[in-house]
Structure 1
Amino acid sequence: NPPHPEGKGFTREGRCTQEAGAWATQWPPVSLATTAAFLERDGHTLKVFDCPAVGMGRARLRALTKAFQPDFVFWSTATPTLSYDLNLSGLIKEAVPEAVTGVFGTHVTALPGIALENPGIDAVIRREPEQTIREICLHGPGGWQDIAGLSYRDREKGEACHNADRDLLDPEEIPAPAWRHLNITPYRLPLKGLPFLIVAPIRGCPYSCSFCTAPLYYGKKLRKRPVPNVVDEIEHNMGMFKVKNFFVWADTFTADKGYVKAFSREIVKRGLSISWTCNSRVDTVDIEMLSLMKAAGLWMISFGLESGSDVVLRLTGKNIRVEQSRRAVSLAHQLGIKTSGHFILGLPGETEASMGGTLALALSLPLDIAQFYAAAPFPGTELYKEALKRGWLQPDSLLSQDHAAMDLPGLPGYRVEAFRRYAYRRFYGRPKAIGNMLTMIDQKAVGHVLRNLGTFLKWAKD
């Protein structure tokens, strides 16, 4: 995971490409760790660097790369930092001129030709990276014409070649991440400040939200790893890394109720004392499932609420209703499960009034945390296609959930930016919200939280 241009914490993992933010959360790089597990199994010697997590800059990365002298160097990329990420190839080629370089991520999956315009990039791994990287390493620097899921520059002709898409991994094939190749100390839960790791039981998302890149990376079919394997992995990480907190990494973990119940029952059956959180959709939860999840250690659930307008929800293909959002958050709250609501401002159909409705919804719900994002038309999404077609996208605009890049009819981007700041001030400026946060902050993490909260409040006020 490359350094951030400004030395900040930054996650580049599938659809999640964002700064550490006010909560200073650096997500463990699960794609790198599962790729490492495959390569280790094949007998390769390897190193994994999560530069933002350990504060590693370009100079240090160059020195370590030169000392290691790898045959292959692969790194993740993100839309908000794409130019910087691709230009890392120059540093790698300076350190190890003969090394094969390859990049992966949702942006380069959607637009591989852009990455290959950089002369230092030899290969673009499209979609989930593990098996394609594995085959590149087995083949060596040439003979790539039959490697599925790969775009590359022919070394003799200098032309870009785009091979057929790859079939995604069967769930039984997906290995446990090889976290031992990383320093896990920097990975701390927001507010709690306690060490945590990711466990990824499911890949794929069957839904069709126009703004989301999830299907681009992991596909639309739900691929569910065997429950015993996943819980074995949790037990292993508890023993090896002394970690008791986990983020269950899945685009929509609760999409299959039967699987979630089996997962929860297995944790209870083994008597594992863990705390975990996950992402969910409001139309996939019920009281029985949430009760089982809580019994298994669920302490917080994050809902993609997106908007307080049924019109906006329909236009973006989210296909939920505001009343379902109210019900789901209420159910979790009744059970004593902390709730986090994620909202997106500036989606198609948005108006000043509908943004106000979204904020009103957030204020009316028993949410413990609220995140307000700007709609970002990331390449590979239907929103990106629509924004280009309708001329909503500002020229040379930064595509990031922290920046409103679209000018919608009657709603310019700067108004979305201003309202986003206002929404944060209104939500977190209430005594109730402050009290909720204080109940979640672990005593050991007070300094960690306060340092970053000051930066956040200054941003919201500006």
Structure 2
Amino acid sequence: MTLQGPLVPCTSTPLPTFRGWGVFGDRAIPNNSKKPRIEAVLTAIIFSKNTIGYFCAVNSCIALVQPHIPAGPSLGIEKSPVSIQIIAAQLQTAGYSVQMYHAGVDEALVRDIVQFNPSMVGISAMTANYTQAKLLARMLKHSLPEAIMVLGGWHATGCVQAYLNNQETESAHEMFFCNSPFDYIVAGEGDRILIDLCSCLSDGRQPHDLPGVCYAAGAELKLSVAEQVLDLDTLSDPIWKGLPVDTYRDQRTGMLDLSCHFNRACRFACGFCATPTMYGRGVRRMSAHRAVEQIEHVVSTFHPHVITFTDEDFFASVKWVEQLVALIEQSSLHDRFGVSFDSFASVNDLYQLEKNGRGDLLDRMKGVGFNSLTIGIESFNPHILRTYNKELMILPTMSREQQQQYRQVDTITQDRLLVNHYLECVQRAITFAQQHGLIIVGDYIIGNLDETIEQVRNGFVKFMQLRDLHVAYLPVFTPFPGTALWKSVYHSGKLIRSQDGTLDWSRFDASKSALDLGYDVESLRNELEVAFYTSERYQQDMKAALRHDGSTKLALFRSRFSRLHCLFPDNVLIAQRMEELDATVALGLGGNTV
């Protein structure tokens, strides 16, 4: 949810100016150039060490762009760009004319943005689409030489954090130098800092002291991170106008699946996760009342089949969840619109709810339309669990006697105890949720640093033992800049690079491996996904689920195997499962035929 931007030095020596001309970067720009909607003209003169650059912004139109990232093969869900939706709302409230763009980078996108004629273009990028963000900025610089280019988002913040935390300097240098098209980088939560940056420039002030506005002074980088937004209720509601809303669909079912986001940060500290990099520590959330207002607006305006709550730590406050559920219940959103809700949970969350006898909360969630919870299982490799900081999450679920035994035994025995106890906890979480009508989506990461192909297979054998796990999400391990694991991954020498020697950021999409591990991780992932869904265990669970709840579960299984059939059209077992499910439909939802 952030736009970030550095001040990049325009030139090492002052460039000459002529009457009727200004200097932007290293290009001379005619000051009398006309634009269709000139609302204000401002010229900000930014001084850095031995450097003078002139940034000219004409009008108060701002374009916000998130280059499109194709849906991954495992889940296949297109998501709306929540980050720029929230920032657009803040800018609009502040009086700026804002247009959002969420599309692939091509000439058509450039043409649309040029037609809007913004004075500033803010590009929010994940690591996977950073290369596309940079390409877009370069294309726009050619067509809109006066427009200020701002980079923000998770990748920009991660690279700044990697620099500040002495992990590495290459990724930050790439954003600022190397013919960078960006004039500013904003690091951290950009909801307000982008407005501050615009105000600073409009007043002709130097933005050097704005937390989160990063820039280069000669060869030296001046980096900082924006202050957190502590009260999320003070932010304007996200806007949707201009987005291709109808494209945000689950490719398995065709259902319109829109996203809402209500909290920031997470209680946990998983080594691979970028959430602490962006949001820091300490979960902040908007009020449940405000959250339901946003939900009701989205539901009544766009009539989605599903709303996914993309909060990193949805259950951080059980009291807040109870309030949210009560308000959704009062508004009768599920009954009035038929909308269902998906969210995230941790194994620890479900463990505590079961331990405290809170099945009633899951019952109420089911009653108001909650359908599924995605849980991060991540691995059954003991070394990887420790690398991910999962051991610190697993130990509290052990009894005092189990913890005492764990501390007293040798490492090999600890490995066995850790994995077996975790497997038991995950199974209990799945069973607990299913008993109260909620589907569990299990997230399991493939191809971690220093994980051999044999270790991947051995861990996945345990994953396949889980009963009643009907949906698996199998991302490839993706190390993001600034995360706890980034330094060791970067210095391992295993990151794949492009032909020009730079890091190949396009591989950081959780579908391809960003690491050279000596084996084909993507092919292995595909193999394991097919094995999971065509296993005898899965077949047995599917039959049982269809007998128990055929009308609901049949749609789930058909959509899952339809997607798999598209991905793996030559797989005989998947085709066979599809035929069996189609036969079940023809016979009127009878699970006994499968």
TM-score bracket, shorter-length normalisation = 0.7 to 0.9
Q: Is 1:28 aligned with 2:76?
A: no
Q: Is 1:58 aligned with 2:106?
A: yes
For each residue in 1:69-118, what CA deviation from the matched residue of structure 2 results, as whole angstroms up to 9, or x when unmatched? Answer: 10110112222332332122111112211111111122221224321224
Q: Which runs of 5+ in 1 are unaligned?
A: 11-18
Cα shift at 1:186: 0.6
Q: Distance in 1 between matches of 2:561 and 2:523?
A: 25
Query: Aligned letter for 1:36?
Result: A
Q: Distance in 2 between matches of 1:20 and 1:416?
A: 15
Q: 1:251 aligns with which of 312, 318, 321?
A: 312
Q: Distance in 2 between matches of 1:212 and 1:458?
A: 33
Compute the TM-score of the two structures, normalised by the length of structure 2.
0.67
Cα shift at 1:326: 1.2
Q: Is 1:403 aligned with 2:464?
A: no
Q: Is the 8 A contact 1:210 1:316 kept in 2?
A: yes
Q: Is the 8 A contact 2:189 2:228 kept in 1?
A: no
Cα shift at 1:229: 0.4
Q: Distance in 2 between matches of 1:421 and 1:24?
A: 14
Q: Distance in 2 between matches of 1:324 and 1:22?
A: 24
Q: Is 1:343 aligned with 2:444?
A: yes
Q: Is 1:292 aligned with 2:357?
A: no
Q: Is 1:149 aligned with 2:212?
A: yes
Q: Which moved more, 1:129-138 or 1:309-318?
A: 309-318
Q: 1:423 aligns with which of 493, 517, 528?
A: 528
Q: Distance in 1 between matches of 2:227 and 2:474?
A: 35
Match of 2:374 in 1: 302
For each residue in 1:221-256, what CA deviation from the matched residue of structure 2 results, as whole angstroms up to 9, or x when unmatched? Answer: 100110000011111222222335211111121222
Q: 1:388 aligns with which of 486, 490, 495?
A: 490
Compute the TM-score of the two structures, normalised by the length of structure 1.
0.85
Q: Distance in 2 between matches of 1:79 and 1:226?
A: 31
Cα shift at 1:64: 1.3
Q: Is 1:196 aligned with 2:244?
A: no
Q: Distance in 2 between matches of 1:363 and 1:414?
A: 22
Q: Is the 8 A contact 1:421 1:460 kept in 2?
A: no
Larger Rg: 2
SS in 2 for 1:185: helix
Q: Distance in 1 between matches of 2:225 and 2:188?
A: 12
SS in 2 for 1:102: strand
Cα shift at 1:390: 4.3
Q: Is the 8 A contact 2:186 2:225 kept in 1?
A: no
Q: Distance in 1 between matches of 2:525 and 2:570?
A: 11
For each residue in 1:26-77, what CA deviation from the matched residue of structure 2 results, as whole angstroms up to 9, or x when unmatched? Answer: 111111111111111111111101114xxxx421111112211101101122
Identity %, equivalent residues: 25
Query: Aligned letter for 2:479?
Result: P
Query: Aligned letter for 1:414?
Result: Y
Q: Distance in 2 between matches of 1:115 and 1:251?
A: 27
Query: Aligned letter for 2:568?
Result: L
Cα shift at 1:170: 2.1
Q: Distance in 1 between matches of 2:152 and 2:570?
A: 31
Q: Distance in 2 between matches of 1:243 and 1:400?
A: 26
Q: Is the 8 A contact 2:174 2:180 kept in 1?
A: no
Taking a change above 3 Å as real, the CA distance of residues 389 and 119 of structure 1, as seen in their structure-2 partners, is closer
Instruction: List aligned pairs for 1:8-47, cutoff 5 A.
Output: 9-10=69-70, 19-21=71-73, 23-47=75-99
Query: Aligned letter for 1:302?
Result: T
Query: Aligned letter for 2:484?
Result: E
Cα shift at 1:279: 1.3
Q: Which runs of 5+ in 2 are unaligned?
A: 1-64, 160-171, 354-358, 395-421, 498-502, 573-594
Q: Distance in 2 between matches of 1:343 and 1:144?
A: 43
Cα shift at 1:394: 4.7
Match of 2:129 in 1: 81
Taking a change above 3 Å as real, the CA distance of residues 406 and 303 of structure 1, as seen in their structure-2 partners, is same
Cα shift at 1:332: 1.2
Q: Is the 8 A contact 1:362 1:370 kept in 2?
A: no
Q: Is the 8 A contact 1:37 1:178 kept in 2?
A: yes
Cα shift at 1:126: 0.8
Q: Distance in 1 between matches of 2:109 and 2:346?
A: 39
Q: 2:267 aligns with which of 174, 187, 206?
A: 206
Cα shift at 1:316: 1.6
Q: Distance in 2 between matches of 1:419 and 1:230?
A: 40
Q: Is the 8 A contact 1:345 1:373 kept in 2?
A: yes
For each residue in 1:340-397, what CA deviation from the matched residue of structure 2 results, as whole angstroms up to 9, or x when unmatched? Answer: 1110123356444542343223322211211222222211112111223444445545
